[in-house]
Amino acid sequence: MKTNKNLLSLLLVILVLASTITFAQESEPKPVFITATTMHFNLDADGSDWLKTEKEYFDKVTSQNELVVAAHVVTHFYTEDNSEVKFVYVYNNWADIEKASEINNMLIEKNFPDEAKRKAFFDKQSSYYAKKHSDEIYQSLPFAKQATSKSDKPQIFYVRNSQMALNGEGKGYNEFAKNVIHKNPLVKAYYPHRHLWGSDSRDFLEVFVFDSLADLEISADKNQELIMAAWPDEAKRKEYFKEMNKLFTGKHGDFIYQNVPELNK
């Protein structure tokens, strides 16, 4: 899978949409860029050494590339395709995505100096995956909730992909995030993203990180408590959510993944 993951030079084009939708103020933190490559396990391959192989690549390449500011690998937990494995990389800016690919290649040459052994390693790595893949690029939104610590145990990554209305109406989602999602102790981290490059310009992707599936299930009750606390007046609460919901068409998809902590950066 040669750093196909590399991740495919990890691709790239297209400016963020000039939508009139406003999620946050200009004073918020500078956005980062996220590339996500979806690979698929070759279910006929012997995957017993998959983690060992990917950990070697991670230690020798990804972890040493300073332009990759964060990395996650997540696998299917509750999704439509049990072969899914996603490689997600975070960069400070657009230019770093392309530069990082060049650095990856230099690190590969440096840390896999023997040509025959290098070829054998990447042939083995590639054998774990089917030939198909897909690529997406997102831009972070400023109201993320950053993890306060790095877990050495697998965590649950709940992904909600909402369809934005893109009609210039609606506001206030950042207020909801800060009053509800940020204050929910069961949500260990929260990463909202806007579509930048990929199949659907309407994508608004949210990643919620939980310690367990049980925490995900009961987090909705805690959210409801926080909503009532933030908007105690019923009329004002209804008006707020009526306006906020104009941001979206009402259509969304839900996906649950589990991360591989050994491959976190």
**Domain holding 190: CATH number?**
3.30.70.100
Of the residues 116, 137, 158, the one at which a domain ends: 137
Residues 150 and 251 in one domain: yes
Residues 151 and 244 in one domain: yes
66-122 pLDDT per residue, tens = 999 999 999 999 999 999 999 999 999 999 999 999 999 999 999 999 999 999 999
Residues 227 and 126 in one domain: no
Is 197 in contact with 13 (CB distance < 8 Å)? yes
Q: Per-residue pLDDT averaged across 181-199, rounded?
A: 94
Residues 230 and 130 in one domain: no
The residue that leads in pLDDT, 167 or 22, is 167
Question: In 3-state terms, what secondary structure has residue 2?
Answer: coil
CB-count exposure of residue 156 (10 Å: 0-12, 13-18, 19+): buried
53-69 pLDDT per residue, tens = 999 999 999 999 999 99
Does the pLDDT value for residue 139 go beyond 80? yes
Say how far apart CA 60 and CA 91 lie, in whole Å.
19
Residue type, 50: W
25 domain-assigned: no
Say how far apart CA 197 and CA 166 lie, in whole Å.
16
In percent, the amount of the chain with pLDDT more than 70 equals 89
Residues 132 and 156 in one domain: no
Residues 249 and 175 in one domain: yes
Nearest residue to 73 (alpha-carbon basis) of 208, 225, 243, 258: 258
229 domain-assigned: yes
How many structural domains compose the chain?
Answer: 2
